[in-house]
Each structure stands twice: as structure tokens, then as C-alpha cells.
Structure 1
Amino acid sequence: MLPIPDNLIIQFDKALRTVFAPAHSRRPHPDANVPEAELSEAEKRHAAGLMRVNHSGEVCAQALYQGQALTARDPEVQQALQAASEEETEHLAWCERRLEELGSRKSLLNPLWYAGSFTLGAIAGALGDKWNLGFLAETERQVEGHLNGHLEKLPEQDAKSRAIVEQMKADEVKHAETAIAHGGAPLPLPVKLAMRATSKILTHTAYRV
């Protein structure tokens, strides 16, 4: 394990790259072979708003995982968190490209989302690995529900955005299952409700800003 100062420098570098640098994907983009559909300007704006929310959600996921990994005690848990973080980076890349294709941009509040989520992740990790992993599992369950909602809201003919969201959802389900398999504990109901309330704030804000 790296000394705390070195770890903090690494985390700061990851934060800068997550928020400001273009993300890259090892896997092919899920929509790579999907043709672009004809969308009205209103449909493009709506799809872009939803994909911007998804992108901001992935920024938050990156920050959560990095914060959790920083304070996790078990090296195996740290490794699981880092593996999930790498897949979330791919999600960032997919959403970024789709936003560009839709003629839109990322949320201007991403630095704020990252800072808040990293703090939450670090606190969760400090509480112990079972709560750390429980927090991860609950986060992924809520993200899965959020992505299901977006599949209902996206324009029916926007197969490219749908392909991205479907693969993201499959990955989030896997992350939740991994967290539970490593000993994640169910979170108290008030914590779950607070997480949902925070998610709603991000969703409504990132759609527009």
C-alpha cells in the first residue's frame, strides 16, 4: 500500500483526469455498429440531457470508488473497487462521445459532483469494508433503476443511446453483485432514502446545467 501523501497525489491526478480529460474505453463502444437515427432538435436536446445526467452519474461513480478505495482496509476490496472504477471510466468515454454526436456538452457542475462523491466514498470506506461494499451495492442498485428510467424516456428511435445505456446497466448489476459477494451489508433505510434524494438533485440539475 502506498503512503498516504503518495495516495492523495494519485487521487488528485485521477480527479483532474476524470473531470477535465477525455476518457478512453478498452472495450468497443456499445453503439459502434449502430446507425444514427433521425432525431428532431427537441429529441436531440432531450437525449443529450439524459446522457449528460448519465455522464455526471459516472463522474460520481468514479469519485465514490476512488474515495472508497482510499480508505478500504482489505486489499481484495480495494482491488474490486479499482476494477469497477475502470469500467466506470469506459462508461464516461461512451457518454462523452454520445454527447458530442448529439451536439451537446458535459455538465458544468462535474467538479462539484466529483468532490461531494469522493468525500462520501471516503467516509463509507472509513466505516469499514462491509459498509463500504454495502454502500457500493446500494449505489449500483439505484443507478440500475435510474438507467431503466432513462431507457423509457429516450426517444424510441435513438438506438445508439439505448445501446450505451443497456451496457452500462449490465455493468452496474455486475458491480452490485461483486460488492455483495465480497461481504457488503444492507444499508439502513434512512441512508438509502438520503442517497435517493441526493440522486434526484443531480438528475434534475445535470439535465440542464
Structure 2
Amino acid sequence: MGADLSVTDRLLVALERTLSTVFEPEPAAARPSPAAAIPEADLEPHERRHAAGLMRINHVGEVCAQALYVGQAAVARTEALRHHLMEAASEETDHLAWCGARLRELDSRPSLLNPLWYGGAWTIGAAAGLIGDRLSLGFVVETERQVEAHLEAHLDALPAADARSRAVVDQMKRDEARHAERAEAAGAAPLPPPIPLLMRAAAQVMRTVAYRL
């Protein structure tokens, strides 16, 4: 989404990204899956269901990350910030692909509510972007820090034998930490106290629902 694109062009690119994010569980990844060289474990049925529920939550998280970044980029005041956000969104595509592939390997599927998750996250991202560029970056930092924390919890919650899922989650956690650090370096401003709490509450609702749906 460069400076040479018109508003209409940007809307079309955003629409294309929306459709591919919501309806393509395994988009093309720039990097191979961290699980590629790890053999599949012989999991018990209940372990497979639990691992699939956690990976579905992670897949939804990446759907929401795409939407947040695209929403923020749509209203960014500078081309530099727009580029930063869309670059981060592109990197998150790897996570989306890895989680989608892992769900398939676990004989499961993405959330049935992905269009709803995407629409809500896009709206939140656009609203954050309208507040100002520094606070928009602060929103990125807070989002990534919260995602990093829940991925750490998933490393503890995944079946011990499921090394493939654990490898994916561990790499995602490292990437999210790096995204937060880059946003801080770009000039992120801290969010007002009520906003992080509201974000955590919304994320908890998403995790509870996405585990099953």
C-alpha cells in the first residue's frame, strides 16, 4: 500500500487482504513452519482436541492482528506509519499460515466466526488509528505484549508431547516480542490505563468462544 496508490486502490487491496485472511486458512508463508522438521506425536483424542482448541485461538489471534494492522493503516496520517503497519501485517501472515496448517494436521478447522472477529478488530484498529499515530503505535505495543503473554500461557497448556504445536507457538511468541519492540522504537506512546484492561477483557471473550467455535 504505497504512496502511489489511490484511495480506491488502497480499499481494493484492503478488501483482497480481508477476503484472503478470513477465507484462506493457510495463506502463502514467507518462512517455513517451525514445525516442519518435527515428527507428529501420537496424541490421545482429548489431547488433539485440546491442542486444536488452543491453535484455533491462535489462528483467530492472527486474523485479528491482520485486521488491526489494516484498520490502523487505513487511517494512518503518514506513509511511514502506514508502511510500518502493513509490513507487520505481512509478517503476521506467516503465523496465520502456520496455525492454519497445524489445525489441519490436528483434523480441525479455523473459527466459524472469523468474519466477525475480523470486522470487530478492523473497527478497533481504525478507531485507535484515528486517535493519533503515536497512540496507534502504542496500541500495537499493548496488543503484541498481550498476545505474547497468552502465547506463553499456551506453551504451558499444550500437551507436552505436541512438539509441533509448541514449536509454532514459541516462534510466534518471539516474533510478537520483536513487533512490540519495533513499535516502541518507532515512537509509541503508552495507552491510557482503562484501554489495556478493556483489551484484556475483549481478548478473554475471544479466547473462550474461539476454543470451541
| TM-score w.r.t. length of structure 1 | 0.98
CA distance in 2, matches of 1:108, 1:114: 12
Whether 1:144 and 2:148 are equivalent positions in the alignment is yes
CA distance in 1, matches of 2:47, 2:207: 18
Counterpart residue type for residue 71 of structure 1: V
Match of 2:61 among 42, 57, 64: 57
CA distances 1:108-161 after superposition (whole Å, capped 9, x unpaired) = 000000000001111111111101000000000000001001001000110000
Give 1:165's aligned residue.
Answer: 169
Match of 1:202 among 182, 206, 213: 206
Q: Structure 2 matches for 1:170-209, cutoff 5 A?
A: 170-209=174-213
Q: Structure 2 matches for 1:10-159, cutoff 5 A?
A: 10-21=13-24, 22-159=26-163
Root-mean-square deviation over aligned CA pairs? 0.8
Three-state SS of the structure 2 residue aligned to 1:197 is helix
Whether 1:4 and 2:13 are equivalent positions in the alignment is no
Structure 2 unaligned residues grouped into runs of 5+? none
CA distances 1:76-116 after superposition (whole Å, capped 9, x unpaired) = 21111111111111101000110000000000000000000
CA distance in 2, matches of 1:207, 1:196: 16
Counterpart residue type for residue 93 of structure 1: A
CA distance in 2, matches of 1:125, 1:106: 28
Structure 1 unaligned residues grouped into runs of 5+? none
Counterpart residue type for residue 65 of structure 1: Y
Counterpart residue type for residue 16 of structure 2: D
The worse-fitting range, judged by mean Cα deviation, of 70-79 and 60-69 is 70-79
Q: How many correspondences in the alignment?
A: 209
Residue 3 of structure 1, CA deviation: 2.8
Residue 4 of structure 1, CA deviation: 2.3
Residue 12 of structure 1, CA deviation: 1.3
Residue 170 of structure 1, CA deviation: 0.5
Structure 1's consecutive aligned runs of 4 or more residues displaced over 4 angstroms after TM superposition are none
CA distance in 2, matches of 1:67, 1:150: 27
Counterpart residue type for residue 77 of structure 2: R
| TM-score w.r.t. length of structure 2 | 0.96
CA distance in 2, matches of 1:87, 1:183: 20
